[in-house]
Structure 1
Amino acid sequence: SVDVVLGDRFGASADAEITAVAEDCLSAAGLRVVRNRPYAGGFSTENHGRPQLGRHALQIEINRNLYLDEGRQQKTADFAGLKQLLDTLCQRLADVMSQDADAADLPMAAE
């Protein structure tokens, strides 16, 4: 079964590097990650992702069994581990976005 689905509308809503960083981080933790199948992204990715403008939208669908024991309606034993992994993922994505912003050719303010 799939653990995580990354939806970037087949590259239309997020730069390939953004999606690759997410996939690498989650896969390295032992999760089975797929892109755009069965979820390529929904309203938010379609309407807000504009990678050509530096605005990336990546949908991350996480298999509920990773964090919820549905029978008992309680967090799984590895909930804290998943939280830590998602914290790491957020930091890696922020690092990539920060590097992109530093390297961008931003217009100069009028003098």
Structure 2
Amino acid sequence: MSTVSITTARMGDASIMTVSGRVDSETAPQLDDALAQLAAGGNNKIVLDLKGVDYMSSAGLRAIVKAAQAAQKAGGDFRLAAVSNAVEVVLRTVGMLQMFKLYTSSGEAANF
């Protein structure tokens, strides 16, 4: 059984969502729901901190792309911070690395 931990905090105008654990077909719906709740609450400046993610499947990538598109459509931005090596390899492998600017920390990414 896979587990994922998701916490959210505010930093200035940005919502920082910190994710740790495995984001796979079993846990990606939790990430998708959490990101959708942020968007529904009017949060369109989102930083996704992935330093604690040790695995991400295509289901997790779908949740990220969906949230990024929603934030941009709402006039905001969606940024990835502290991306773990495991996630960076996946992003590079599937050709999605160029879709996102990667930030070294949530604090750096939250500077909108």
Query: Shorter-chain TM-score: what band?
Result: 0.3 to 0.5
Larger helix proportion of the pair: 1
Report the TM-score, using the length of structure 2 for normalisation. 0.33
- Give the greater-gyration-radius structure (CA): 1
Larger strand proportion of the pair: 2
